[in-house]
Amino acid sequence: MKIQVDPHTLERAEERGTNENEIKDIINTGFVIPAKYGRIGKAKVYEFKKTRHGKYYEQKRVEVIYTTEGNIILTVTVCVFYGKWEEQE
């Protein structure tokens, strides 16, 4: 399926600390999370080991919410959380 990253999603991604490559990686290899309104959610935890807004974080968890329309995956939004998570399978 073709992945279409909505311009709104990309704008939010840049503000929140992720990018188009990570969004596509999550859709392809992330684990499923709950989503509302018939949408699909996937997430993935990445090593971060950097400072963001003056605080050091070990990892970041990126969550992508999207829909499918025929043969196209269309992103709705992306959220990024910073902290430390246990292994996800």
The dihedrals phi and psi of 52, each to the nearest 5 degrees, come to -135, 125
Predicted local distance difference test score (pLDDT) of residue 87 = 65
**What is the average per-residue pLDDT within 8-35?**
96
What are residue 78's DSSP bridge partners?
64
pTM (two decimals): 0.92
For residue 40, count other CB atoms closer than 10 A to its CB.
Answer: 16
Predicted local distance difference test score (pLDDT) of residue 86 = 78
R_g of the chain computed on alpha carbons: 13
Residue 6 has pLDDT above 60, yes or no: yes
Question: 22-79: per-residue pLDDT in tens?
Answer: 999 999 999 999 999 999 999 999 999 999 999 999 999 999 999 999 999 999 999 9
